[in-house]
Structure 1
Amino acid sequence: MKRTIIAFACALLAGPALAQSLGEKTGVNSALGVAPTTADFVKEVAVSDMFEIESSKLAEQKGTAQEKPFARQMVTDHTKTSGELKDLVGNGKVQATVPTTLDSSHQSKLDKLKNANGKDFSSDYASYQVSAHEDAVSLFERYAKGGDSAELKDWAGKTLPALRHHLDMAKELGKAPSVGQTK
């Protein structure tokens, strides 16, 4: 009985420590409010920026009158943050690798957008934007509070207000009337 209690106590105490080693994709870190590792943070930011840029380029072509200015701002702002991240990693202050391709999850969302039109495109684009910016705000908040690179923590904190503004704007995308949209 003592062994069972000891094993259970060890498992409870190890839980938070083990959660820190899990990748961001599991969602465990986010649920527990655990800061991502520098490598996970850099990877998630780079993939998120690539998705924002590519999906918003599609919205510039296929989107509604409401979506196009939002999409232009996403392309501009996320191109800027991508450059800043690459500069932080490239100058040697941050030890991480910046991915150059989307992961399978983001690629499948992008493929779905490429094949969608009209209301289907608008619905998916708005939904993806809200979800992506909710994830980004969480990621940046957690890293700004508990990340292990001072330069990235500072950058994450400075970038947060723009991401929160993007989230607010994304939540407004689906609220406008869909006049003139075709399927």
Structure 2
Amino acid sequence: MRYLAAGVALVLLATPGLAQSIGEKTGVKSTLGITPTTADFVKLAAITDMFEIQSGELAQERGNAAEKRFAETMISDHKKTSDELKAMASGGDVKVEVPTVLDSVHQSKLAKLKSLSGADFSSRYVIHQVSGHKDAVSLFERYAKGGDHPKLKDWAGKTLPVLRHHVEMAQELAAGQTVGKR
């Protein structure tokens, strides 16, 4: 087992670009509080925005009244941050490619949501909103504290209050769902 751990560490050290992406993708960096690379930050921020917009559109079709109101805010706020991120990249401020499609993890989550309706949809949607926004807060906090691109670092810090508010809103939505169910 010790040899396996040493071998994995050696591979990760030998390929730092790969190690950073794997670490961010698996949540290791988040758990350890390690700052994401600029490329990882941009990729995850863009994918998070796309997921929030697409799942929000689905919630506006299938959700209850509270979920529809919540989704309207998510769509509006995440379109704004998505546009800001794209503007920084297209303006040459951030020299990282912004993804235009969801990664496989978020595609799978969206596909599952599309297969659900009623209470099953509501439950899964709210779970994704709480956990996804907590992950986004962690990502933005870590980049705002230690990111290596000054303009992007500043943007991450300015975006944090909105994301923290989204966590609160999602938690309130979740609390409202559980009232009377116990």
Secondary structure of 2:171's counterpart equals helix
Secondary structure of 1:25's counterpart equals helix
Partners of 1:131 and 1:137 lie apart in 2 by 10
- In structure 1, the residue matched to 2:135 is 135
TM normalised by structure 1 equals 0.86
Relative distance call for 1:160 and 1:101 in structure 2 (3 A) is same
* Pairwise CA distance, 1:174: 1.9
* Pairwise CA distance, 1:22: 2.2
- In structure 1, the residue matched to 2:3 is none
- In structure 2, the residue matched to 1:96 is 96
Deviations 1:55-106 (A, max 9, x none): 0001011101111110000000000000000011111111100001000110
Relative distance call for 1:166 and 1:38 in structure 2 (3 A) is same
- In structure 2, the residue matched to 1:27 is 27
Instruction: Count residues in correspondence.
Output: 168
Q: In the alignment, is the contact (CA less than 8 A) between 2:20 and 2:37 conserved in 1? A: no
Relative distance call for 1:93 and 1:177 in structure 2 (3 A) is closer
Runs in 1 of length 4+ with deviation above 6 angstroms?
none
Partners of 2:146 and 2:17 lie apart in 1 by 14
Deviations 1:124-171 (A, max 9, x none): 000000111011000000000000100000000000000000000001
Runs (5+) with no aligned partner, structure 1: 1-7
Runs (5+) with no aligned partner, structure 2: 1-5
Structure 1 vs Structure 2 CA RMSD: 2.2
Relative distance call for 1:158 and 1:176 in structure 2 (3 A) is same
What amino acid is the match of 1:22? Q
Secondary structure of 2:64's counterpart equals coil
TM normalised by structure 2 equals 0.86
The percent identity for this pair of structures is: 60
- In structure 1, the residue matched to 2:149 is 149
- Greater per-residue helix proportion: 2
Higher mean alpha-carbon deviation, 59-68 vs 169-178, is at 169-178
